[in-house]
Structure 1
Amino acid sequence: MDPLTELFSSMRVRRAGFTRMNAYAPWGVESAGDPAIKFVLVVRGSAVLTTKSNPTPIPLGAGDVFIILGDEPYQVCDHESSTMAACVDVDAQRIGNQIEFGGGGAVTTFVSGFFEIDRLDAKPLLCVLPVLLHLKMEQERTLAFQSVLELLATETEGPRLGSDAAAARLFELLFIHAVRAFTQECSIPKKGWLAAAADKNLAPAIRAIHAEPKKAWTVDLLAREAGMSRSAFAARFKSVVGQTPLGYLTEWRMHKASRLMEANSVRIAEIARSVGYESEAAFTKAFKKSVGTNPSIFRKTVFGHKPTLAKDPLWPG
């Protein structure tokens, strides 16, 4: 199983929703940011996007998609001089899943949506993606990706049986296709496991680690999976991923272990064995070094509904 498939398969969507908005010039919408993953598809018309970390205006046209990860503040408008209205005020004009907003001029139609994913599920992916993904219409898209966008636009045109559930699932598919498209572009991150998963030399080793995290991997064995010499593999892995092969293996094991801890019926010793540690003591030492606390405290704090440690990065950015 490739790492993206594994991550998407384990992600649990907590909450999802969508809106179809007709914005009539002049108009402007601003968001202070929230932790959900947000999608916007421009169905027709044009707009301008700015975010806190990308203040340079980004022109948007029909067919463009942008995705904002995390709590990044952003603004979307028909023109930079337009007055901005807060998202909550615009949302107050909602009728069902439809919003009509603006000054009565030329119309821009958006389909926007959001979903929330468990923080620990999403951490390995979100730490290697930029805050903003902008996929322009003129960029080459697969037929499947374009089909999802067209289905989303059609599904949100008007109320129909099961439309909310269909739209929520289409947004999940959109996320998968967007990340896949991002990995195939020259803008792929220079470091991180996502870059390695798209690297023809390193990808076999990454897939091997994810397929068998409990195996007693060595740098020699992983280099053999990659079809490279030990020294060349170790140097390339460190350059692309930003950590050593065995360091990455440990981080992935700790991520797997943290997910298993949600089930209180599974003992720490069993979790340790499932991720490749022969003793609970060795696992506890590795977990504390990686996460900053021992497994039992982590389980109680994170899954006992105490949010203190949930904000700490399990994976370094």
Structure 2
Amino acid sequence: MDAVSRLVRLARLEGGLDVRCLLAGRFAIDHDAVGPGQVPFHLVLEGRCTLTAGGSTVHMEPGDLVLLPHGTAHRVSASTGRRRRLVEEPGGAFPTRRTVGAEPELDLLCGHYGVESGAGALLFRLLPPLVHVSLDASALAVADLLRAEAQFDGEGTGVIVTALCDALLAMALRSRPGQRLSTPALWTAMGDDTLGRVVAEIVARPGEAWTIERLAESAAMSRATFVRHFTARTGTTVATLVTAIRMMVAADLLTRSDLSVGRVAGTVGYRSESAFTQAFRAALGTSPARYRRGRASGGG
């Protein structure tokens, strides 16, 4: 299995649509901050709008996808045209918000990813507060399927939408550097030919000794060039990447296998169970044993 596919599967996400917006003219819709376990996203199918979150402003066009990995409060708006009343119509899988008395100028899908407290939380925690991606042709085809399913809104729509949302996330993670319109982020290294190969090796064999020297050799770069290239592309450190992947794999093993904590530690590259426990606690705020008990009892 390739690295992007494995990371998305490890995260155990569940994507879904909250509302489809068919809007015209001037409007402003505020979205409150959400707590751990939810990652909002917005996808423009037609038209244009502006998204503001914290100190960042993003002008969105058709094919633009914005993720808010930290659940930041944000506003979606348009500043031209007449302000009209909005109504929300119920649907089988999700409601539709419409402008009254005008043909839609904007077709916007608003949804979220449900995130478990382990690997999924780690994946999104390592992204910046706002991720803006311009989708490529294949991802736009998925977006068109989402639109068709939103229009159908019938039996099976929920499960189909979930699968399509997961596909969109994978496509965003593998996007090329030129498609990413926001700040560098750890997982967008997947779209870089050289760094993508390096990340794939770590994901495939997290238990090996991944020193900077070894990774630089794999990338056919000097140590200094590799570190500089990695930091420029991702905005983080090599150690953060290696630890994050190891903890994602460990969280999955603790949840879905019967391996002892010591065996899990060895599988993800730790010779000492105590060193693994310390790293796991730093990443997820709890010990491996307590995390396993919580997952077994259905906790977050």
Query: 2:28 and 2:66 mapped to 1: Cα distance?
Result: 16
Which range moved further: 99-108 or 288-297?
288-297
Looking at structure 2, the residues matched to 71 and 289 of structure 1 have their Cα atoms a distance apart, in angstroms, of 21
Describe the SS at the equivalent of 2:151: coil
The yes-or-no answer on 1:273 pairing with 2:230 is: no
SS at match of 1:77: strand
- Per-residue deviation, 1:75: 2.2
TM-score with structure 1 length normalisation?
0.73
Q: Distance in 1 between matches of 2:275 and 2:63?
A: 52
Call closer, same or farther: CA 1:113–1:42 in 2, change over 3 Å: same
SS of 1:114 mapped into structure 2:
strand
Q: Taking structure 1 as reference, are residues 210 and 43 closer, same or farther at Cα in structure 2, changes over 3 Å only?
A: closer
Are residues 1:122 and 2:120 paired?
Answer: yes
Return the letter of the residue paired with 1:277.
Answer: Y
Question: Any idea what SS the aligned residue of 2:110 has?
Answer: strand
Question: In structure 1, what is the equivalent of residue 173 of structure 2?
Answer: 179
**Structure 1 portions without partners, runs of 5+:** 308-317
1:286-301 equivalences under 5 Å are 286-288=279-281, 294-300=287-293
Deviation at 1:147, TM superposition (A): 0.9
Q: 1:244 to 1:155 in 2, by over 3 A?
A: closer
Q: Pick closer, same or farther for the CA change 1:98–1:266 going to 2, 3 Å.
A: same
Q: In the alignment, residue 147 of structure 1 is paired with which amino acid?
A: A
Residue 143 (str. 1) matches residue 137 (str. 2) = yes
TM-score normalised by length of structure 2: 0.76
Pick closer, same or farther for the CA change 1:207–1:79 going to 2, 3 Å: same
| Counterpart for residue 310 of structure 1 | none
Q: 8 Å contact 2:246–2:268 — kept in the other structure?
A: yes
CA distance in structure 1 between the partners assigned to 2:66 and 2:243 by the alignment: 33
Q: Which runs of 5+ in 2 are unaligned?
A: none
Partner of 1:159: 153
What is the match of residue 7 of structure 1?
7
CA RMSD of aligned residues (A): 3.7
Q: Distance in 1 between matches of 2:61 and 2:188?
A: 29
Q: Which is further off, 296-305 or 254-263?
A: 296-305
Partner of 1:311: none
Whole-Å separation in 2 of the counterparts to 1:45 and 1:38:
20
Q: What is the aligned partner in structure 1 of residue 220 from structure 2?
A: 227
Relative to structure 1, is the Cα distance of residues 198 and 16 closer, same or farther in structure 2, using a 3 angstrom cutoff? closer
* Cα 1:186/1:269, change in 2 over 3 Å: closer
The alignment partner of 1:215 has SS state of coil
Alignment CA distance shift 1:169-1:229 (3 Å): same
Counterpart of 2:250 (choices 257, 269, 285) is 257
- Once the 2 structures are TM-superposed, how far is the Cα of residue 157 of structure 1 from its aligned partner? 1.5
Tell me if 1:213 matches 2:206.
Answer: yes
Distance 1:277-1:45 versus aligned 2 partners, 3 A rule:
closer
Query: Identity over the aligned pairs, expressed in percent?
Result: 24
CA positional deviation for 1:260? 2.0
**Alignment coverage as a number of residue pairs:** 295
Question: For each residue in 1:138-157, what CA deviation from the matched residue of structure 2 results, as whole angstroms up to 9, or x when unmatched?
Answer: xxx53311211211122221
Distance 1:292 1:145, change over 3 A: closer
Q: Is the 8 A contact 1:77 1:84 kept in 2?
A: no
Q: 1:53 to 1:274 in 2, by over 3 A?
A: same
CA–CA distance in structure 2, aligned partners of residues 233 and 224 of structure 1: 9
Q: Aligned partners of 1:41 and 1:242: how far apart in 2?
A: 25
| Structure 1: distance between partners of 2:50 and 2:230 | 39
- Which consecutive aligned stretches of 4+ in structure 1 deviate over 6 angstroms post-superposition? none
> Which residue of structure 1 aligns with residue 20 of structure 2?
20
| Amino acid corresponding to residue 268 of structure 2 in structure 1 | V
Distance in 2 of aligned mates of 1:269 and 1:78: 55
Which residue of the partner structure matches residue 52 of structure 1? 54
CA shift in 2, pair 1:281/1:102, >3 Å:
closer
